[in-house]
Amino acid sequence: MDNATIASLLNETADLMEIDGADGFRVRSYRNASDAVEQTTVDLAAVSGDAAQLLAIQGIGKSMAANIQAIVATGSLPVRDELLTKYGAGLLQLLKLPGMGPKTVALLWDAGKVKNIDELAEAIDAGRLKGLPRMGEKQIEKIKKGIEDYRRSVGRFRIDEAEDAAERLTIYLMAMGGIERVTPAGSLRRGRETAGDLDLLVTGPACAQGNTDAAVQYVAAYPGIHDMIAKGENKVSFHLANGLQVDVRLLPSNCYGAALQYFTGSKAHNVVLRQRALKMGYTLSEWSLSRLDNESVVASATEEEIYAALDMDWMPPEMRENLGEIEAAAKRSVPKLIEASDIKGDVHMHTTETDGRNSILEMAEAGIARGLQYIAITEHTKNLAMTNGLDEKRALEHMKRIREVDKQMEGRIRILTGLEVDILADGSLDMDDEVLAQLDVVIASVHSHFAQPREEMTGRVLRAVGNPNVRILGHPTGRQILRREAYALDTGAVIRRCAELGVAVEHNAAPERLDLSDRDLRLAKECGCRIVINTDAHMTKVVGEWRYGIRQLRRAWLTAADVLNTLGVKEFLGAMRKR
């Protein structure tokens, strides 16, 4: 059990207690503990046997230490279980809808015992929400849209969730003797933004043909399994507690490459590849590339051998969507895609001055630890009151502090001044131009009025990037993966205008955002639009955490030359839009 899971269980418990009308002080103590767990670098599951180590963590008192021990030992808390029995687990789904906090859920419960998403949809259709406090027409529309988005996304998982599951399983599997390699295939390996299920390939002596019994038993004993779907000689399928399906395939090492190629997909890529094989007198399957005439194996142990036998270059899995990669590989012109190690600066992050968790100094140290040459501190502005956004006066003071800390770093890392200025409903910016003109990095982002019609929203964003102080357009579509659709925006028009103006567009590497999408990034590259990849870090551990974002850039075939923050700090600043 990792800290993020413990934190979310504590927070969930707080939500349930709040719905149940518990004392505010008690509810807060769970929320504070959840925050503390999320922030600490101590692996709680590892130290949970030792109460003293838990108590040493700031924000964890005696009762919460006991709660953490209970969570690690049982996966839940008695009070959480009780409340789930009383209200039903469907409440947890309700809480995940946008605009549905514990207060609203409690209100719906009191009004008509609404206890899951289906009942909520029914209540809306029957008009039963009208007239309830805080349930205006707009709010009801918003909830309705949230339900639609939820239903559309059911069955898919964010890429970071899938990867966490894959990492935990890999550690477990590698601990068995006779297993040499565990490789995620499918959508996860191709770096898609969501995964329908997790495909894990396993090989080693324990997976030798006809001799997999022990390995199958071992996989089936994985403690994270919620329910078993199927158990065969070479395949074990099950669900994890969060509903994610996992297909584990046990393979002899002599056909590992063929299996990896096949199960990586995509289906569209495989179909075209198989046609190419047929034309060459071969047949391609999950077992091998073989000759059609005498069935002798041509290649099967590695992907490289298979692609080489098909007279083409190997290409990164992120490219395998049948979008021209097969032609490029046959012409030996697969580009050298960007890698995480190419990025030299992270220029979108927040500190305790607004809604971040760490100080300027801590963020800078985190940047150094990640090997970055520069970072930019880009706080929110005053219109975002819930983040404690900066007004002009505080912005100038904060800029001074950033410069002081920058001096203090003595060249170990460069800290640039910046702001993530809010784009107001009419497209004007939430900060005086005089202040913006003094900053190294000005990111402009939309954080409100998401429901504007397409033309209005497009005009708003175009007006904002028209301000000569704006250098980067932040999280340009506002989507949140599996949670909130992009707002209505003519993304193409915005990208083309940014290209003309020299405004860079951001790829936001937060796994819950990942916008621009791979498709939009492809368009941005075609238009010659500058691109910056940022983490939007609100705490130290996210600084320089690009891994999900980098894969989206790779899916769009971007190279280091396409991304501005692969440059050193001087060149980066020089390449930004001139005022």
Q: Which two tokens stand for residue 454?
A: 């397409």
**Which residue in 184, 265, 389, 544 binds ligand DGT (CB under 6 A)?**
265
3-state class of 80 per DSSP?
Answer: helix
Q: Of the listed pieces 141-149, 266-274, 378-386, 468-476, which binds ligand DGT according to CB under 6 A?
A: 266-274
Residue choice 37, 114, 195, 489 for contact with ligand DGT (CB under 6 A): 195
Distances in Å between the Cα of 41 and the Cα atoms of 57, 99, 165, 174, 411 are 10, 31, 20, 25, 27
When the beta carbons of 160 and 247 are compared against Ca ion, the nearer one is 247
Which entry of Zn ion, Ca ion, ligand DGT, none binds 266, CB below 5 to 8 A by partner kind?
Answer: ligand DGT
Closest distance between ligand DGT and the C-beta of residue 517, in Å?
A: 16
CA–CA distance, 520 with 501 (Å, rounded to integer): 18
For residue 267, state whether it binds ligand DGT (rule: CB under 6 A): yes
Closer to Ca ion by Cβ: residue 158 or 350: 158
Residues 6+ apart with CB under 8 A from 380: 350, 354, 355, 387, 388, 389, 390, 420, 422, 447
Q: Which residues contact 125 (CB under 8 A, 6 or more apart)?
A: none
Shortest separation between residue 474's beta carbon and Zn ion, angstroms: 5
CA–CA separation, 480 vs 424, rounded Å? 20
- Measured from the CB atom, is 20 or 286 closer to ligand DGT? 286
Which range binds ligand DGT by CB under 6 A, 130-138, 194-202, 218-226, 231-239? Answer: 194-202
CA distances to 98, 216, 234, 236, 523 from 230, rounded to whole Å, are 36, 11, 11, 6, 43
Of the candidates 292, 284, 94, 317, the one whose C-alpha atom is nearest the C-alpha of residue 190 is 317
User: How many residues form the binding site for ligand DGT (CB under 6 A)?
Assistant: 13
> Alpha-carbon distance 413 to 434, whole Å?
27
Query: Of 226, 160, 222, nearest to 191 (Cα)?
Result: 160
Question: Which entry of Ca ion, ligand DGT, Zn ion, none binds 487, CB below 5 to 8 A by partner kind?
Answer: none
Nearer to ligand DGT, 270 or 373 (CB): 270
Question: Residue 153 CB, nearest distance to ligand DGT (Å)?
Answer: 12
Residues 6 or more apart from 211 whose CB is under 8 A from it?
none
Q: In the window 148-187, what residues touch ligand DGT (CB under 6 A)?
A: 186-187
Q: Could you tell which of Zn ion, Ca ion, ligand DGT, none binds residue 265, using a CB distance below 5 to 8 A set by kind?
A: ligand DGT
Q: Listing from the earlier edge strand, what are the strands of the sheet with 472-473?
A: 345-346, 374-380, 414-422, 441-445, 472-473, 504-508, 531-534
Report yes or no: 389 and 383 within 8 Å, Cβ to Cβ: yes
Tell me the closest approach of the beta carbon of residue 441 to Zn ion, in angstroms: 13
The residue among 252 and 265 lying less far from ligand DGT, judged by its C-beta, is: 265
Nearer to Ca ion, 322 or 559 (CB): 322
- Judged by CB under 6 A, the stretch of 191-199, 349-357, 373-381, 453-461 that binds ligand DGT is 191-199
Measured from the CB atom, the residue of 240 and 537 that comes closer to Zn ion is 537
The entry of Ca ion, ligand DGT, Zn ion, none that residue 445 binds, CB within 5 to 8 Å by partner kind: Zn ion
Residues 373-401 as b or e (16 or more Cβ within 10 Å = b): bbbbbbbbbbbbeebebbeeebbeebbeb
Distance of CA 358 to the CA centre of its chain: 21
- What x/- string results for residues 377 through 416 when contact with Zn ion is judged by CB under 5 A? ----------------------------------------
Q: Out of 11, 358, 383, 445, which residue is the one contacting Zn ion (CB under 5 A)?
A: 445
Residue 565 contacts which entry, ligand DGT, Ca ion, Zn ion, none (Cβ below 5-8 A, type-dependent)? none
Closest CB to Zn ion among residues 373, 378: 378
237 contacts ligand DGT (rule: CB under 6 A): no
Q: From the list Zn ion, Ca ion, ligand DGT, none, which binds 271 (C-beta under 5 to 8 Å, kind-based)?
A: ligand DGT
CB of 300 to ligand DGT, least distance (A): 16
- Kindly state whether residue 285 participates in binding ligand DGT, applying the rule CB under 6 A: no
* DSSP character string of 246-272: EEEEEE-GGGHHHHHHHHH--HHHHHH
Binding residue for ligand DGT, selected from 211, 234, 266, 559, defined by CB under 6 A: 266
Sole binder of ligand DGT in the list 229, 241, 271, 292 (CB under 6 A): 271
Residue with tokens 């175009």: 462
Least Å distance, CB 474 to Ca ion, is 31
Interface of this chain with ligand DGT, residues 197 to 216, rule: CB under 6 A:
197, 199
CA 497, CA 40: separation in Å to the nearest integer?
Answer: 43
CB atoms near residue 461 (< 10 Å): 27
Residue whose beta carbon is closest to Zn ion = 445
List of E strands, 150-302? 157-158, 181-184, 194-195, 198-203, 225-231, 235-240, 245-251, 282-284, 289-291, 297-299
Q: Which is nearer to Ca ion, 38 or 197 (CB)?
A: 197
Question: Rounded to whole angstroms, what are the CA distances from 344 to 121, 337, 347, 533, 570?
Answer: 48, 16, 10, 10, 11
Binding part of the chain for Zn ion, among 266-274, 445-453, 512-520, 540-548 by CB under 5 A, reads 445-453
**Residue 456 touches which of Zn ion, Ca ion, ligand DGT, none (CB < 5 to 8 A by kind)?**
none
Q: How far apart are CA 533 and CA 31, in angstroms?
A: 32
* Contact pick of 150, 218, 263, 374 for ligand DGT (by CB under 6 A): 263
Applying CB under 5 A, which residues contact Ca ion? Answer: 186-187, 197, 199, 247
Neighbours of 550 (CB within 10 A): 23
Q: How far is the CB of 246 from Ca ion (least distance, A)?
A: 9
Q: Rounded CA gap, 207 and 229, in Å?
A: 20
Query: What is the contact surface with Zn ion in residues (CB under 5 A)?
Result: 445
Query: What is the contact surface with ligand DGT in residues (CB under 6 A)?
Result: 186-187, 195-197, 199, 262-263, 265-267, 270-271
